[in-house]
Structure 1
Amino acid sequence: MLLEIALPLTNPVLKFLLILVIILFAPIILNKIKIPHLLGLIIAGAIVGPKGINLIERDSGIILSGTAGLLYIMFLAGLEIDLVDFKKNSKKSIVFGVYTFCIPMLLGTLAGLYILKLSMPTSVLLASMFASHTLIAYPLVSKMGIAKNIAVNITVGGTLITDTLALLVLAVIVGMTTGEVTTEFWIRLFLYITLFGLTVMLLFPIIGRWFFKRFDDSVSQYIFVLVMVFLGAVLAELAGVEAIIGAFLSGLALNRLIPHTSPLMNRIEFVGNAIFIPFFLIGVGMLIDYRVFFNDLETIKVALVMIIVATSAKFLAAWFTQKTFQFSADQRRLIFGLSNAQAAATLAAVLVGYNIITGETPAGDPIRLLNENILNGTILMILFTCTIASFIAQRGAKNIALSESLNAESDILENSERVLIPISNIDTIDELINLGITVKSKTNKDNLYALSIVDNSTIDNIGDKQAQKILNKATITASATDNKIQEILRYDSSIVNGINSVVKEQKITDLILGLHISKGISDSFLGNLTEGILTRCNITTLIYKPAQPLNTIKRHLIIVPENSEKDLGFPSWINKVWNIARNTGAQLVFYANNETLHFIEQLQSKQSLSCTSEEFSDWEDLLILAKNFRKDDNLILILSRIDRPSYNKTMSKIPFYLNKYFKETSYMLIYPMQAGALISSKIDFKNPTVNAPLERLDQLGKIIGRLFRKKTK
């Protein structure tokens, strides 16, 4: 059968091929002339759409994919937000939300009444369109690695506020126009929204934690996430607000369950940026009609008023926010760029208003709440604001990203941190690799080493094949998070000797060992570890027994011995614990004596982490903590080599305690690098995600000395 080609294209294969070509080449071509790729997709959609050369209709397929892309943008914004910073900066988000809602509402209402000569309901509805905005530039900002900047954080929080209020205004205006605004209307609206918010924020995390504990299949986990996104969107619409609010809250609800370094997060971002979000941007472009510039002067007038008022109002909101919180000019650009783009809620409001008929003209034509001039003007406003938002956000994001990179200390060596993960059990590979990715710094993606040791006394090659199979699985797990792992296959008669040799040969700084989920930690294991590795390899060593996935842990209880801050490896292990909390969103609870807690709190005060501390001096009372242990807790014990400053004789009883009282729970033992180390490390407390060995050991000694002098003062 011959392929028939007619315009607009109707063959689904041709349509999908054309869209993929646009997604592939539009950003490449336009980036050469410094046009952001997001804007490139919108322009491409306008060219091939029904109001351009009419290659593709904006049919139900485009609308469905575009809706999914819009929800994806809002979901990612909720998923990637730093919840600790979000809570810390909630007041700033509220202030910005008030600015970016009230200023457009005021200017928009006045412009509608006195410039466009519209009625009060129409003017208020028009103003609500200016107040809302869509985070179209968010993927661009996220790609530059500054999604956790405070300016981004409060803008995302403010988006939730202003979009919710704008959509509530839409619901009220529609209700007033149709005569439905009664006491019952307000009660029903309040109850529905409250019930919706509580359901998503309280029930979704419980469902998610239950699912992730029982199903580890990557496809099932991704489909589950999509189900939760669209379920949240449906619940939002049932509550009387737009679906984008539900998608955003779904992201917040699942935030702690999807670590930023996890394979699942990598899949979510990849599919969204490759398929869903480009479909949405192309669909927005298809709404743009350039012909109105030449056909109707009234439309041009309305469009100019809308563009000027919307852009000015959003700039003023960003400017007031900058002055209120003493932000930089680039942070103001970032706020303005993220909040200026009009698309999702604006389209929803204009289409609803356009479809409401309030009467008829003498000629029998319908009188609409929002007329065709406003509808066309809205499309032009979307084009203009998305263009401005893309350029401004890109400029601000580039400058901030450059500034952050320049603030890093010049002596940091990205290739210095080397994490070794010996693996022998195929069932524990995923958890060990994910732990290694979670605790390591982000400056280098190829500093992971997976080691499999084969007994060189065997005469067959069965061990070789099994070892290579295990290494291959480790490589696949790491690559799913966009990290590279270096495979090491070693032949040795002793596992301990093999590990020690690789540590020295590869200059390893950190060692991660795993315990089988169904087995405990024996005295002989700890004895062999102490004699064979800890005394011969003075590096930070983590021993991990996962009873449940790391991303389902709610709290990490860290038991810190007295004088732990005097250990050479103190900066290294505490930074790794911080990385666990930073990448998973779990809470940290430190147990130590007052002197050690004070030292930790001084350092932690500079971090955006959810941390609490409790005084704990006597390790003989360790079992008392077992009573406070919850189902989704992880116990982290900071141990010591014998005869070191932080050693406690109770540590010899740890295997017995763990096997008897913590057998069904997750726990982690950390042996820091201690005095006499062959390898030392430095932590940059201004940028604690970065670890790098120093060339000389005495440099770290000076750093620790300065910290103690500050503490004693």
Structure 2
Amino acid sequence: MIPSIPVTDPVGVFFIVLVALFAAPILAELVRLPGLVGTALAGMLLGPRGLGILESGSLMEAAGGFGLVYIFFAAGLELDLRKLRRKSPDAVVFGGLTFLIPLGLGYAAGTLVFGLPVVPAILFASLFASHTMLPYPIVQTMGLSGSRAVFASVGATTITDVLAMLALALTTAGSGTDWFFWLRTLGVLAAWTVGAALLLPPVIRRFFRRIKTGGPSEFLFALVVVLFCSAAAGLAGIQPAVGAFAAGILLNRHIPERSGLMYMLRFAGDALFIPLCVFYIGMLVDATGLVTIPGTAMLAAVMLGVVLVSKYASSLILKPLFGFSLGEVNISFGLSVNQTASTLAAALVGYRLGLLGETVLGGTVVMFIVTCALGPFVTRRAAGALAVESARGIEGRSPADERILIAVSNPGTLRPLADFAFLMRDPKSPEPVLPVCVVQDSPDADRDLEQAETILAQAIAQGANHQGLQDDHAQQDRVAGAHGLQGAEVAKVLEGEIVEGLTGDGGPDEKAQHDGDPEIDGDTGALHIIVEGQIFEILSRVGCQPRALADPISETLRLDLVGSLDENKREQLALLRGEGGSPAVGGVDHGLRLKGP
């Protein structure tokens, strides 16, 4: 029997939806778009305004409604309250700017251009005020997560999320516009917040401390808290989404970042609930109406212009205020321009309440698609430029200041890593190439230490056999501190070339030195060590600067060479390349990518 169109059977509906949720993100990522963009487009295609295969009936409305609540719960759960308490000046200022400027410009567009009343205009403006740091993994990969531009953007995200949620709560609580309405709304919101903050935390603490069921029970308990807060907010005349956001904040401190429960909550949201909501929003949008309905295309263009102009203006003001470079300004813009699922969810709330029309919902989807494509592109370009800027900042350092460190944990990749490190090292540099094994403090630390010493002994042999190594006099030992490495406090150096890390219980002061041998201070130079994940960022001279060497490179971090290589080094590197594809070192493809002319 051939199923009728639209499909109404629940099994058939969920089959089609799940196929779309599976396939659409994969297809979107093939053209370098975020997966949720593909999900929204799939909803537009399969919905009643597209091919008409699915209808936005009670089944999809219920699924989308729960996904809507879950989006706001996830926003509260992911809120970094510690960064909010730090109150870094640039983060606070940027948070205020990137909220108020889009809010003001959006309110002006809503009232002056589209003639919206006060309350709908405020809700319309709040759509531009918040943002999601969608391209954050890009700056992490390039080793820029500690830069002040990124830190300011992270803090600003927390601030804008809270303020945007407050705006949503106030504008959706009723239809009044006088002072009594606003005071009553604030009073109800404050009373509900205080009540939830006093009553729920003891229950949550008691559950997690006394009930040791784990797994599904903890997951279901978290969902019960979310739905209870949402229902209680609805009874108090507050949007259920606001209650879900509050539930996320209340559960925030009780669910560790890397716990199994946090993994389950994120997995359920990322795999099912959030895509369901985005898919449902796509079903409500008339794609052809964006072109055929008069004024719809102009509204989408104005919304896109407001978010781009206001977000870039907010970032540009940081240049005179805090001395940000153009690269830092562009990174701040790239991280703050992205309007993702939470913006779509806020637009859906306004649409359901009749405060925002269908054209605004369609314009929000357009804004969502464009900014989610633009943000990562700008961030990637700006991060590369910022990396070059940081490299030029150390251009004046002598070869003696250059330090190259390789993290070794696999003997099979030791030789190609050492070959590449010596190729990058300036021949005039007296500094050694530093191989390091990180031994974590664990019950198996003694066994891991023996393995690490074996690998480092092989590194010594590899350095001794390397072309360009000094003769016998270079084999004189000297001992120096390797400060900052967890579980690796002392390093034995073969003069001029290579280091053997020895693990001990002592600190940097427990080091022996031969008379007359110069000390290598681990605190000097521009060597930044990140132990977690065994990723070691290296800042050396600008001519050929490895941003990071990790073992194995292909499993931890791609290596970007910032700047250009001179012809001599290019010829040497050509000898190490494989046939086609990315460069290979020692005949092994490590996924290296080269930048520069």
The normalised TM-score by structure 2 is 0.61
Q: 8 Å contact 1:131–1:166 — kept in the other structure?
A: yes
Match of 1:155 in 2: 157
Q: Is 1:125 the equivalent of 2:120?
A: yes
1:352 aligns with 2:349: no
Residues 26 and 675 (structure 1 numbering): CA distance in 2 closer, same or farther, change over 3 Å? same
> Match of 2:187, as an amino acid?
L
Deviation at 1:91, TM superposition (A): 5.9
8 A Cα contact 1:229 1:246, kept in partner = yes
Alignment CA distance shift 1:504-1:47 (3 Å):
same
Q: Deviations over 1:92-143 (max 9, x none)?
A: 5654454345434443444445444x3xx62552343122359785566469
CA distance in 2: counterparts of 1:72 and 1:36, whole angstroms:
20
- Residue in 1 aligned with 2:429? none
- Confirm or deny that 1:209 pairs with 2:244: no
Instruction: Kindly state the Cα deviation for residue 61 of structure 1 after the two structures are TM-superposed.
Output: 2.9
Q: Secondary structure at the match of 2:117?
A: helix
Aligned amino acid, residue 344 of structure 1: A
Aligned equivalent of 1:328: 329
Q: Which one-letter code corresponds to 1:162 in the other structure?
A: A
1:249 corresponds, among 246, 249, 262, to 246
Aligned partner (choices 202, 210, 215) of residue 218 of structure 1: 215
Q: Does 1:284 align with 2:281?
A: yes
CA distance in 1, matches of 2:283, 2:41: 9
Cα distance, 1:322 vs structure 2: 6.4
CA 1:60–1:301 in structure 2 vs 1: closer, same or farther (change >3 Å)?
Answer: same
Identity within the alignment, %: 25
Quick check: 105-114 or 256-265, which moved more? Answer: 105-114
The residue number in structure 1 matching 2:517 is none
Correspondence for 2:167 among 159, 165, 168: 165
Matched with 1:194 is 190
Aligned residue for 1:395, secondary structure, equals: helix
- In the TM superposition, residue 48 of structure 1 has moved relative to its aligned partner by 0.5
Tell me the CA shift for residue 289 of structure 1: 0.4
Distance across 2 between alignment mates of 1:62 and 1:134 = 29
The 8 Å contact of residues 139 and 273 in structure 1, kept in 2 or not, is answered as no
Does the 8 Å contact 1:336/1:389 carry over to 2?
Answer: yes
After superposition, where does 1:360-439 map in structure 2 within 5 Å? 375-398=357-380, 410-413=404-407, 415=409
Distance 2:530 2:302 in 1: 48
Paired letter, 1:243? P
**Residues 105 and 154 of structure 1: is their aligned pair in 2 closer, same or farther, counting only changes over 3 Å?**
closer
Instruction: Write the mapping of 1:518-533 to structure 2, written as runs, cut at 5 A.
Output: none
Residues 502-651 of structure 1: pairs in structure 2 closer than 5 A: 504-505=450-451, 571=484
- The residue identity in structure 2 corresponding to 1:222 is F
SS at match of 1:337: coil
Contact in 2 for aligned 1:413/1:692 (Cα 8 Å): yes
1:260 partner SS = coil
Within the alignment, does 1:7 sit opposite 2:1 as a pair? no
Counterparts of 1:17-96 in structure 2 under 5 Å? 17-89=15-87, 95-96=93-94
Distance 1:234 1:25, change over 3 A: same
Q: Residue 338 of structure 2: SS of its match in structure 1?
A: helix
Distance 2:219 2:176 in 1: 39
Contact map agreement 2:63 2:277 (CA 8 A) in 1: yes
The letter of the residue matching 1:154 is: A
For 2:535 and 2:134, locate their aligned partners in 1 and report how far apart those are by CA, in whole Å: 34
CA distance in 2: counterparts of 1:92 and 1:15, whole angstroms: 49
Q: CA deviation at 1:164?
A: 1.3
In 2, the alpha carbon distance for the partners of 1:143 and 1:273 equals 19
Give 2:584's aligned residue.
none
Q: Distance in 1 between matches of 2:438 and 2:227?
A: 33
Q: CA deviation at 1:394?
A: 2.0
Aligned counterparts of 2:375 and 2:437: Cα–Cα separation in 1: 27
The alpha-carbon deviation at position 154 of structure 1 amounts to: 1.3
C-alpha deviations, 1:484-540, integer Å up to 9, x for none?
Answer: xxxxxxxxxxxxxxx85675357699xxxxxxxxxxxxxxxxxxxxxxxxxxxxxxx
User: Are the aligned partners of 1:222 and 1:268 in contact in 2 as well (CA < 8 Å)?
Assistant: yes
| Structure 1 unaligned blocks of 5 or more | 355-369, 417-442, 452-498, 510-566, 577-639, 647-671, 677-681, 695-713
Equivalents in 2 of 1:389, 1:220: separation in Å?
Answer: 38
Q: Work out the number of aligned pairs and report it.
A: 442
The 1:295–1:132 alpha-carbon spacing in structure 2 relative to 1, beyond 3 Å, is closer
**What does residue 313 of structure 2 align with?**
316
| CA distance in structure 2 between the aligned counterparts of 1:575 and 1:236, rounded to whole angstroms | 53
RMSD: 4.6
Per-residue CA deviations over 1:463-486 (Å, capped at 9, x if unaligned) read xxxxxxxxxxxxxxxxxxxxxxxx
Equivalent residue letter for 1:23: L
Find the aligned partners of 1:414 and 1:227 in 2 and give their Cα distance.
Answer: 47
Shift in Å, 1:329? 0.9
Tell me how far 1:195 sits from its aligned partner: 2.7
TM-superposed CA distance for 1:5, in Å, is 0.6
Distance 1:165 1:96, change over 3 A: farther
Q: 1:53 to 1:575 in 2, by over 3 A?
A: farther
- In the TM superposition, residue 274 of structure 1 has moved relative to its aligned partner by 1.0
- When structure 1 is superposed on structure 2, of 81-90 and 385-394 the one drifting more is 81-90
CA distance in 1, matches of 2:443, 2:37: 42
Q: 2:230 aligns with which of 219, 229, 233?
A: 233
Distance 1:207 1:163 in 2: 25
**Residues 416-436 of structure 1, C-alpha deviation per residue, up to 9 Å, x if partnerless?**
8xxxxxxxxxxxxxxxxxxxx
**1:568–1:673 Cα contact (<8 Å) kept:** yes
Separation in structure 2 between the aligned mates of residue 30 and residue 96 of structure 1, nearest angstrom: 32
Q: Secondary structure at the match of 1:56?
A: coil
Write the letter of the residue equivalent to 2:125.
F
Q: Write the distance in 2 (CA, Å) between the matches of 1:64 and 1:323.
A: 49
- Whichever residue aligns with residue 155 of structure 1, its letter is T
CA distance in 1, matches of 2:15, 2:39: 15
1:175 equivalent in alignment to 2:176: yes
Which letter does structure 2 place at the counterpart of 1:157?
I
Provide Cα deviations, 1:230-277, integer angstroms capped at 9, x if missing partner.
333334444544333333333333333222222222222222211112
Q: Report the AA paired with residue 250 of structure 2.
A: A
Q: TM-score, normalised by structure 1?
A: 0.52
Distance 1:501 1:25, change over 3 A: closer
How many angstroms apart in 2 are the aligned matches of 1:411 and 1:693? Answer: 10
- Aligned AA for 2:191? L
| Distance in 2 of aligned mates of 1:221 and 1:508 | 44
Q: Distance in 2 between matches of 1:74 and 1:575?
A: 44
The whole-number CA distance in structure 1 between the counterparts of 2:254 and 2:101 is 37
Deviations 1:565-612 (A, max 9, x none): xx9798456999xxxxxxxxxxxxxxxxxxxxxxxxxxxxxxxxxxxx
Aligned residue identity for 1:381: G
2:126–2:164 Cα contact (<8 Å) kept: yes
Structure 2: state its 5+ residue gaps: 392-402, 411-435, 456-479, 490-503, 513-521, 537-597
Deviation for aligned residue 1:53: 0.3
SS in 1 for 2:405: coil
